[in-house]
Structures are given as C-alpha cells and as structure tokens.
A and B are shown apart, each in its own frame.
Chain A
C-alpha cells in the first residue's frame, strides 16, 4: 500500500469521467465523421472502465457481463456506422459533417 497514490475506486472513476468528457469535446468539435465516430468509441470505453472498476470494488460480476455486451453492440454499431459513411462518401465525395447537409434551407 503506497499511501496517497495507491489507486482506489475514486481514481478509476475520475479517469473515466475525464475520458468521457474528452470524447464529448471530440464529438462536438471535430468535423470529420470518422473521427467523430472514434470519439464515440472513446466514450464507450470510458463507460466500460467505469463498469469494470465498480465490478471490482463491489465484488459484483454483473458489471463485467454488461461490458461484454457493450463491446459487442459497439462493434455492431461501428460496422453499420462506417458502412453508412462509405455510402455517403460515394454520393457526396466528402465526410465533412458541415458539408453533408441535405436540409433544403
């Protein structure tokens, strides 16, 4: 035990909160659709870290089960989202989200 620096649950939760907020900044700021997607994956990973940390510190296995399913659904979502981006690119020749604007006004 190393005193002040030894990680307890607070450290993991604060780390994943910071990662989640960074992912949010990335989603709101970037203009490339694929990079926005990668920031969403970063947010999902921050949530996975929270769930595993809670699972460890509360001695509860269900957190890890939820993380398995979150990973599977994130994989499925990434596949379909990238397929949509490829289809949009084929029509508009861009992945810049400010240019993919199909509203008439």
Chain B
C-alpha cells in the first residue's frame, strides 16, 4: 500500500522533472528540474530496496555532478535557449516523432515479455552486501575506476585551465 503510493508519487515527480528539463528555456531551470528528477530516481531506488545506491545517487549525482553543472552555467552566464514550440521546424518535429517512436517501441517490447510480475525476496541492497561483492568479485573494476577518475580529473584541469600568455612563449 505504502509502496504503491510512493511509487506513483515518485514516478510523477520524475516525469515532471524530465519534461521540465526537456521543454524549458532557461538552462538554470533545466538544471533544477534535473535535480528534481534525480531525487525522484533516488526515491525509486529506495522503493526498490537498493538503499546504498539511493544514497550514492543523491551524494554523487545531485550533490556533485549537478553542482558542477550549475557552476558551469553560472560561470558562462548563458542566456535563454529557445523552447521547443518556438521555431518548430521540420527537424524538431522529426526529433519528437523519433523520440515517441522509440518510446512506443520500447514499451511494446516490454509489454510483450511474459512473467515479469513475480517478486522474490531481496537482500542485496544493504551496504554490507554491496561492499562484500564490490571488494571480492569486483575488486579489479573498483581499482580501475579510481584510475578513470584520476584521468578525468587531470584531463579536465588541463583542458579547462587558463593558459598564461607570457608563459607559453618560453621553453
């Protein structure tokens, strides 16, 4: 009962955030709608009993990545984008048609699968089970991801830093 109410509330919240992200003009509002979507998805993770990943989603996505997006939007001081319904030309119409065709195809293939209504007992969502699996079976990707993150960090700093003009002439 509680799960039904929570699922529909969070699903509506997520869809509102997604529609707002795609349709709104101002990029700051789009970022805020994406934060709403991320909180909705974190709530859905909690309903699906994946507690560790719900908290990680809020910490990493809504707490770090979206803050980075907002910093970049504020730094670049962007104006308004154009909304979907202004300048509605052939390309935009075709894109909307393509997106709805994709959605209908996916929904059709989901509904044609049988036997997806069972609901077994689930115990893997807790932190100790995730940690056990992460450090036993997935230890190599776990260590490799730290290299990926360091590479991304160094790469971002090198790409985005200001080049000092008096420094680049010398050896």
Binding site for B on A (CB under 8 A): 2, 5-15, 17-26, 28-32, 34-35, 37-39, 41-42, 45, 48-49, 52-53, 55-62, 64-65, 67-69, 71-80, 82-87, 89, 95
A12, A15, A35, A83: the one contacting B160 at CB < 8 Å is: A83
Interface SS of chain B: helix, strand, loop or mixed? Answer: helix
- B159→A29 contact, CB < 8 A: no
A residues within 8 A CB of B49?
56
Query: Which residues of B are interface residues toward A (Cβ below 8 A)?
Result: 1, 3-4, 7-8, 11, 14-15, 18-19, 21-22, 27, 30-31, 34, 37-38, 41, 44-45, 47-50, 52-53, 56-57, 60-61, 64-65, 68-69, 72-73, 75-76, 78, 81-82, 84, 92, 95-96, 98-100, 102-103, 106-107, 110-111, 116-122, 124-125, 129-130, 133-134, 137-138, 141, 145, 148-149, 151-153, 155-157, 159-160
Report whether B50 and A34 are in contact in the complex, using a CB–CB cutoff of 8 Å: no
- How many residue pairs at the A-B interface have CB separations less than 8 Å? 226
A-B pairs with lowest CB-CB distance, top 7: A21-B103, A25-B99, A76-B152, A28-B95, A17-B106, A61-B124, A83-B156
Do A79 and B153 contact each other (CB < 8 Å), given the known contacts A21-B103, A22-B19?
A: yes
- CB-CB < 8 A to A18: which residues of B? 15, 18, 103, 107
A42 to B78, CA, bound (A): 21
